Chain A
Amino acid sequence: MNLYPVRAIYMAEMARTRRTMLQSIVSPVISTSLYFVVFGAAIGSRISEIGGVSYGAFIVPGLIMLMLLTQSVSNASFGIFFPKFSGSIYEILSAPISYLEVVIGYVGAAASKSILLGLIILATSSFFVPLEIAHPFWMLTFLVLTAVTFSLLGFIIGIWADGFDKLQLVPLLVITPLTFLGGSFYSIDMLPPFWQNVTLANPVVYLVSGFRWSFYGISDVSIVASVAMISLFLIASLATIAWIFRTGYRLKP
């Protein structure tokens, strides 16, 4: 593997993040803080503890996961879509680099930014609610795996999209609803049995549950199921990207 191209793509993408600091970092932090104020302090104070955890603290992993999923997808999708849109993708396609190096550069940068954002939100939340992290290793593992997996998904969306509307389609119409309905703000135990079963079909439930378990040791589904689900996502995303590059789908006529 040649590291210079990976570094070039990674640094260029991170430079783009720095140029759009307000949109990339400040905006998600502010919106998450608003969630804490509304759900944590205002409404949360009237909701009883869940599994021995205050409601304000309970929603922290879900909120981080919400940001992680949406930001990973939008960062990575925009990162590869913009060169396609502007035409500068010719340089990537004509460079002596492997597909793996391209993916590591783009997805690595998108995931780094999401992880950074997740950690900033975590630090921000500590100003609003008392936090504890029962399993720091697993917390970081879930954070990294989720960021990488959803950045891969974003990369796929960026290649698939042929317009800005499609770029927004999946984050807005799929990721956000699934995350809101995936137990970010509640335990699925709080739902009627029928809806509990329906909710188990939502893959995000497993991510939020596993991540919350790493904080408080409580989960809606088993930790094994959570790890299996994120691994499945990861493998499916990698397989799809391998297929895209093998066939040249939407990249090479």
Chain B
Amino acid sequence: MPEREEYALNDPIIAINGLNKTYQGGFQALTRVDLTIQRGEIFALLGPNGAGKTTLISVVCGLVNPTQGEVVIDGFDSVRDYRQARERIGLVPQELTNEAFETVWNTVSFSRGLFGKAPDPAHIEKVLKSLALWDKRDNRLMTLSGGMKRRVLIAKALSHEPRILFLDEPTAGVDVELRRDMWEVVRGLRESGVTIILTTHYIEEAEEMADRIGVINRGEIVLVEEKAALMQKLGSKQLTLQLQTPLDELPGALQVEALSLAADGHELVYTYDGRQAEEGHGIPALLATLEREGITFQDLHTRQSSLEDIFVDLVKERA
């Protein structure tokens, strides 16, 4: 770990090195996890149920003791320098956990004090307004809807002005409209300089918001990649040509695995990935072959596989 004085702004804001967690009873939740999070990015951690997402967040935030390894937060060791490390972190847990009888204002102010900050009503007001909670500030938490309670948890996490925000399944059980509102809130936070790490089941969420994607499966980080690069590298694409004249079968020059006929010979489907395109085997080669064979088409459309397809493939591959 670099000495704190040497810690530069371009160093990762979180560095996780060789992290293992084995619970009592022997269940190994994390295995040799190495991961770095860059300052100011939105990092999405994907994984099936029980993959270790929440355990990983819990270790970083101090809720679970690691069995082995270290976590460095903005240059501070999460165990040895826990005060400096934790004051930089805000955590929004997966479960809607809060003090039912407290008011919104009191519970958010409590969180600020708990994280060692002097009372600052102006900041609390700003946070509540940014999350559309200002009108509810005197309401008891038990009277709020699930979506509003989720916002309160975010407000609590932001009350002490953290530099890093962990969102553990932030939109679980939230309706579509509120989910989109939440995404806006998260984007706004990133613009204000907060680094965001979110775990999610919703691939759409990661696809929509993340700069980088990490996939965790059975306690191991399977992959970490820029979202765009990941989609390009692993995402398959499909080109569908609607033929002028239907074909009974593909001519010899077109009998390759990537090509198939569909819709009773009216459509020619070409499945390829980013790497094939880079290597020059892609669409231009196909079109040239079609021209040589005298096959014409009247329309075409393409479809790119979603992050969900990629994720399912990855997890299946390693199962």
Q: Residues of A at under 8 Å CB distance from B?
A: 2, 4-5, 7-9, 11-12, 15-16, 19, 82-83, 86-88, 90-98, 248, 252-253
In the bound complex, what is the Cα–Cα distance between A93 and B86 (angstroms)?
10
Smallest Cβ distance from B105 to chain A, in angstroms? 12
Residues of A with C-beta under 8 A to B85: 96
Interface pair A86/B100, CB less than 8 Å apart: yes
A4 with B118: in contact, given A86-B100, A91-B111, A94-B91 (CB under 8 Å)?
A: yes
Which 5 interchain pairs have the tightest Cβ spacing? A8-B113, A87-B97, A96-B86, A96-B83, A96-B87
Interface pair A86/B87, CB less than 8 Å apart: no
Interface pair B64/A252, CB less than 8 Å apart: yes
- Of the listed residues B84, B101, B115, the one surrounded by the most CB atoms of chain A closer than 10 A to its CB is B115
Interface pair A4/B91, CB less than 8 Å apart: no
A86 with B114: in contact, given A93-B63, A96-B83, A253-B64 (CB under 8 Å)?
A: no
In the bound complex, what is the Cα–Cα distance between A248 and B58 (angstroms)?
14
| A-facing residues in B90-124 (Cβ within 8 Å) | 91, 93, 95, 97-102, 106, 110-118
In the bound complex, what is the Cα–Cα distance between A82 and B99 (angstroms)?
9
Asked whether any CB of chain A lies closer than 8 Å to the CB of B89, the reply is yes
In the bound complex, what is the Cα–Cα distance between A160 and B65 (angstroms)?
18
Asked whether any CB of chain A lies closer than 8 Å to the CB of B7, the reply is no
A86 with B97: in contact, given A4-B117, A252-B64 (CB under 8 Å)?
A: yes
Smallest Cβ distance from B162 to chain A, in angstroms? 11
Interface pair A86/B98, CB less than 8 Å apart: yes
- Of the listed residues A8, A87, A90, A96, the one surrounded by the most CB atoms of chain B closer than 10 A to its CB is A96
Interface pair B97/A88, CB less than 8 Å apart: yes
Interface pair B114/A248, CB less than 8 Å apart: no
In the bound complex, what is the Cα–Cα distance between A252 and B101 (angstroms)?
26
In the bound complex, what is the Cα–Cα distance between A8 and B118 (angstroms)?
10
In the bound complex, what is the Cα–Cα distance between A136 and B65 (angstroms)?
47
Residues of A with C-beta under 8 A to B110: 8, 11-12
Q: Which of A7, A90, A252 contacts B113 (CB 8 A)?
A: A7
Q: A-B contact count, CB below 8 Å?
A: 80
In the bound complex, what is the Cα–Cα distance between A235 and B145 (angstroms)?
46
In the bound complex, what is the Cα–Cα distance between A38 and B82 (angstroms)?
55
In the bound complex, what is the Cα–Cα distance between A141 and B136 (angstroms)?
45
Interface pair B114/A252, CB less than 8 Å apart: no
| A-facing residues in B111-143 (Cβ within 8 Å) | 111-118
Interface pair A5/B101, CB less than 8 Å apart: no
21 A-B Cβ contacts within 8 A? A4-B113, A4-B116, A4-B117, A5-B114, A5-B115, A5-B116, A8-B114, A11-B113, A12-B99, A90-B63, A90-B93, A90-B97, A91-B91, A94-B63, A94-B86, A94-B89, A94-B91, A95-B86, A95-B114, A252-B63, A252-B64
Residues of B with C-beta under 8 A to A2: 83, 116
Asked whether any CB of chain A lies closer than 8 Å to the CB of B231, the reply is no
In the bound complex, what is the Cα–Cα distance between A253 and B65 (angstroms)?
6
Smallest Cβ distance from B52 to chain A, in angstroms? 13
- Of the listed residues A2, A95, A97, the one surrounded by the most CB atoms of chain B closer than 10 A to its CB is A95
Interface pair A91/B114, CB less than 8 Å apart: yes
Asked whether any CB of chain A lies closer than 8 Å to the CB of B255, the reply is no
In the bound complex, what is the Cα–Cα distance between A88 and B114 (angstroms)?
12
Residues of B with C-beta under 8 A to A5: 113-116
Residues of A with C-beta under 8 A to B193: none
In the bound complex, what is the Cα–Cα distance between A78 and B82 (angstroms)?
27
Asked whether any CB of chain A lies closer than 8 Å to the CB of B69, the reply is no
In the bound complex, what is the Cα–Cα distance between A88 and B111 (angstroms)?
11
In the bound complex, what is the Cα–Cα distance between A87 and B153 (angstroms)?
12
